[in-house]
Structure 1
């Protein structure tokens, strides 16, 4: 019986011993994809690790490592004395599953899942299934089954508080979990009472801007800078002072005499350029805020994904004057539809922000807060981040390797942190036109010009690499090279 089941799994797993990925990954990805696609339904018993190792021609230790990893993510259940089974709690909110054809690889199974996300639009922006779209996490590697356990657990809570609006500042256990995470992994200790949970990062930007500035007030904004945030501040009636950025971050000298009351900055990983703000510039910004009784709205964007050394400390962690409002989210570390972010506030602002939250939003969705609190407290958030950093580092290097073989129609730059690369175009090429033509070839990048308030001296395309499946990488970059070459 075990032999028959093991033989069925062999149609899903293809081992490439010459230049392939690590053996554990070649086994793990097809199994995960088959579970997501429904080819291995909940409750299916897998063959023993010994039998599977023998049939695949790999060590039993390698197979055990794979099974334990999938069990940690919630895809498998390892029952002592009974064997290993596909988890019975695979989320019911996944889009309708289609069985993978015999012999389907991990890549094709994930590709099919992505197409179903795009077709149904259930819980996801269809755009997020487009290859090379910037800022897209690897959705296929999120531990859906494990997350569902926490969603189900909080749904069973019998106490009335789980059905009410909740504390306007947010669910207390979640605030404690975030404070512990920041202290351990961002070297930024704070009291949980300084934290206010919001419905995502843009809700945090909006409430901070409304409370701390008035219509017509100047707001320092990096140029190039994030388009949606720029539109948000403009819609609130703030006067944007566009400040250029260089390799060290915002060039504050360019903002002299602006009279701005707030600065919006992304010091850990500036978007779209990907640079990190130097310590000298951070201290200059703090001096500017203290001297002018101004505020710094710090968006700690993508701080989790740094590939050389530890994540950089936040500006808030060196703020001695209480001028920094820190914003963090879970959109890229987990998934955007979660819609949870948070503010870390100077103590003197906490009461004002709590009252404003009660009036404007009541509270962020309590059920999601409860599930996330348990997910973080039990160590799954940090484990997931560690796995994603390793995966994204591999995809980053693969992106560089393939791009280097694609000729001279573009030159790729990938910073040492973040989720995106910049493909710099040859002089004279219009990046908006290049983005339109690339999309027609299946490469969905953004023109750098879209992020600029003033003309930028170079033309480029912003391309995401973290959400690109391995089978999409070479065909996509080769297609980009072809369309750019035709436009030379």
Structure 2
């Protein structure tokens, strides 16, 4: 009676769902037009081999969705409120031509042209920026989580700026360990570092504005700013960090400067004090803003962590961005901004409009973890562990990679650079190392305009010291085949 209804015993979908979906599709495709009367449920159920109760359930569901209507004493009809000639849905392409691209906003169009990925992220030896997850204090973290979420106190909406207790703990940590005191009200919690950069760009710059950006620099961050419509003003990086003098000469009227002064990624250099002061003076004189990305400054192996740029900013031009992705684990997705007081209101409101809040239970657990002294203890243990793994890496690499690469391992951070010799391209080396079951990133992926020698970024922090030599031997063997 309704030839388009076909039940298939070979599919996992329940029969009532098959009938329901096929009736809905028949209405949308115009096979059953508005006002068409359906066969009686008893007859249709018999034809399909279903119980009448099951078919009635199907019809009631479609009535609730607005496709069918019941008329007293007359039966069930396709809803008269639907168009008399419903547009047919093309179930298969009419030709081999690819479908037309959807119409997107400017930001949507820009985002489609870039990538949010830097490369394969499998947890293999030498994955860059990877903390020692095997040494994370899971039992303590679980206790903090349980204490923070007891009695349902973390089940409501949170403060749009972040939970006050977490902001207080971060302020205490910055004052004691980074020599950078601030008021908790100056802090806005964000879902990770990139969310912090996004807030700063949206609040302080318009599409078409210029932003200084170090070249080489983090791929996803440069893609973020491009997607937001900012013009990347690329600035070379040398042994003293960003070349501020060149940037001032070429791009004096930029609105923003994005900089990693404590440890540049991926080159590992530190912005010198004269350049920090010059950058601060440029921002003051030009009513510009500095986004300071302080992503892993906790891990310095020759003395205390360097003071932040914000700590010497006397004119309130620095927006300090930190996160817990390297200090704890990447999946925690908690970052924060420390703002000049005049910016707090705008950033707080914008954060609430975009993110509402970071999950409250995560914030409260982190506050418990920091307040109980566990965060500081964990950092001390990790600094000692990473110093040991760094020494093991340097020792093993000096043997395994001799003649194939020159190792550059800065006194802070989680990564090292291996500058390749013999004209080997880092992209080819990257593929060979992946095939060998290891990980790395090619420096060329971070380079935007400035040509650099070939190099590999190798993360040593996540590799046990006793495994460093065999893994580096495997890496050297992969390079030998190029």
The normalised TM-score by structure 2 is 0.73
Q: Quick one: distance in 1 between partners of 2:152 and 2:335?
A: 26
User: Which residue of structure 1 aligns with residue 205 of structure 2?
Assistant: 213
Q: Does 1:175 align with 2:164?
A: no
Unaligned 5+ runs, structure 2: 1-118
CA shift, 1:470, in A, is 3.2
Higher relative contact order (CA 8 A, sep 6+): 2
Is the CA contact 2:216–2:450 (under 8 Å) kept in the aligned structure 1? no
Is the CA contact 1:128–1:136 (under 8 Å) kept in the aligned structure 2? no
1:338 corresponds to which of 326, 329, 332: 332
User: Which residue of structure 2 aligns with residue 141 of structure 1?
Assistant: 135
User: Which residue of structure 1 aligns with residue 410 of structure 2?
Assistant: 415
2:389 corresponds to which of 389, 395, 407: 395
Q: Does 1:254 align with 2:249?
A: no
Q: What is the DSSP-based 3-state SS (H/G/I as helix, E as strand, rest coil) of the residue aligned with 1:403? A: helix
Q: Quick one: distance in 2 between partners of 1:167 and 1:249?
A: 37
User: Which residue of structure 2 aligns with residue 459 of structure 1?
Assistant: 454
Q: Quick one: distance in 2 between partners of 1:154 and 1:378?
A: 12
- Describe how 1:328-407 pairs up with structure 2 within 5 A: 328-406=322-400, 407=402
User: Which residue of structure 1 aligns with residue 90 of structure 2?
Assistant: none
Q: Does 1:199 align with 2:191?
A: yes
User: Which residue of structure 2 aligns with residue 281 of structure 1?
Assistant: 275
Deviations along 1:210-265, whole A, 9 cap, x unmatched?
A: 00000010000000101111111111111001100011110012222422100000
CA shift, 1:188, in A, is 0.1
Q: What is the DSSP-based 3-state SS (H/G/I as helix, E as strand, rest coil) of the residue aligned with 1:461? A: strand
Q: What's the RMSD between the two structures over aligned residues?
A: 1.3
User: Which residue of structure 1 aligns with residue 39 of structure 2?
Assistant: none
Is the CA contact 2:236–2:450 (under 8 Å) kept in the aligned structure 1? no
Q: Quick one: distance in 2 between partners of 1:260 and 1:387?
A: 41
User: Which residue of structure 1 aligns with residue 293 of structure 2?
Assistant: 299
Bigger Cα Rg: 2
CA shift, 1:471, in A, is 4.4
Is the CA contact 1:131–1:467 (under 8 Å) kept in the aligned structure 2? yes
Is the CA contact 1:261–1:294 (under 8 Å) kept in the aligned structure 2? yes
CA shift, 1:455, in A, is 4.4
User: Which residue of structure 1 aligns with residue 229 of structure 2?
Assistant: 237
Q: Quick one: distance in 1 between partners of 2:343 and 2:422?
A: 49
Q: Quick one: distance in 1 between partners of 2:165 and 2:450?
A: 47
Q: Quick one: distance in 2 between partners of 1:450 and 1:203?
A: 22
CA shift, 1:349, in A, is 0.4
Q: Quick one: distance in 1 between partners of 2:272 and 2:472?
A: 32
CA shift, 1:344, in A, is 0.2
Unaligned 5+ runs, structure 1: 1-124
The normalised TM-score by structure 1 is 0.72
User: Which residue of structure 2 aligns with residue 112 of structure 1?
Assistant: none
Q: Which runs of 4+ in 1 moved over 4 A?
A: none
Q: Quick one: distance in 2 between partners of 1:150 and 1:157?
A: 14
